[in-house]
Amino acid sequence: MPAFTKCDVIWMNGAIVPWADAQVHVTAHALQYGTGVFEGMRAYDTATGAAIFRLDAHIRRLFASARAYEIELPYTFEHLCEASREVIRANKLENAYLRPLAFFDSHSFSVWPKDCPVTVAIIAVPGRQYIQGGPDHGARVTVSTVRRIELQTLPPYVKACGHYTNSVRAVQEAIRRGYDDALMLNAEGDVAEGSGANLFVVRNGTVITNDIDASIVLGITRDSVLRIARDLGLPVEIRPMSLTDIETADELFFSGTAVEVTPIREVDGRLLGDGNPGPISRRIQAAFFDAVHGRLPQYEDWLTYA
């Protein structure tokens, strides 16, 4: 993703503050130890104004992630939903990427974050493509040597700041190899996900993805894609995915807030099909973009208008 464009304001600790004033001290516990949780959300332009995609689900997941690390959020679910809408309005955004963030702030260098205050912020910037050209032309990926974190070490389904050092290592390796992103395997050697996105395989007309036991984040876009695929009448399988599934796939695509629905056209130098996004990926992608822009009434409940 290219560098973000700074906006006018950020919602932070209950107030709208100027971008330059949204500061954290260098001694913040989360900076020292990664003890924060976050969400990625998008807002899209619709015929009736900017709408945040699946806001309720994202804020619920933020609370669930916070509970996993005993971060007591000092705001209600309703307050954070309204704050998300407020920061969109305050920055006069239509298509936006939002980053709700909650973390242990400055108090002690103890690993135990006892008595650390909790800071909560919601950042909104103009939305951009995560992988340049990806949704239209497809991404090039490599199978990483970096394994995905597993449940016995850390809860991989939690969107915690410190967990993403795992993804950083994988994507650094992928880009050094000349690719856009990485495919990560789990401890069992099965395919988990990308560095920041869930993975779908299409084979013989069936849409296949894995589940929480594969050490993945249960993506909200993933859940939306599964509903769209079923609504389109496509067979769906949820099961472990192996490297053989990748090697024999007719199509592959990523799903996630940042990548949206991005086809994969190449894995470790091997083109899928003719190297163009496949027909089922395109059908799902088209329905997804129609849904988020408010063009499909059956998915209206996914949209919260700012």
* Planar angle of CA 8, 219, 19, nearest 5 degrees: 10
The pair of structure tokens assigned to 9 is 């304001």
* Planar angle of CA 122, 128, 134, nearest 5 degrees: 135
What does DSSP assign to residue 110? -
Picking from 236, 199, 230, 225, the residue whose alpha carbon sits closest to that of residue 289 is 225
Q: Which of 6, 92, 114, 159 is catalytic?
A: 159
Taken as a whole, the chain contains a residue count of: 306
Report which secondary-structure segment, H or E, holds 139: strand 139-143
With DSSP H G I counted as helix, E B as strand and the rest as coil, what are the percentages for the chain, rounded to 5? 30, 30, 40
Do residues 121 and 11 touch, judged by C-beta distance below 8 A?
yes
Do residues 263 and 251 touch, judged by C-beta distance below 8 A?
yes
What does DSSP assign to residue 298? G
Sole residue written with tokens 């915690």: 160
Between helices 279-292 and 220-231, what is the axis angle to 10°? 110
Sole residue written with tokens 């894609």: 225
The pair of structure tokens assigned to 253 is 């695509």
Do residues 53 and 292 touch, judged by C-beta distance below 8 A?
yes
Query: In angstroms, rounded to a whole number, what is the distance separating the alpha carbons of residues 62 and 53?
Result: 15
Report which secondary-structure segment, H or E, holds 97: strand 96-104
Residue 114: active-site member: no
- The set of catalytic residues is 159
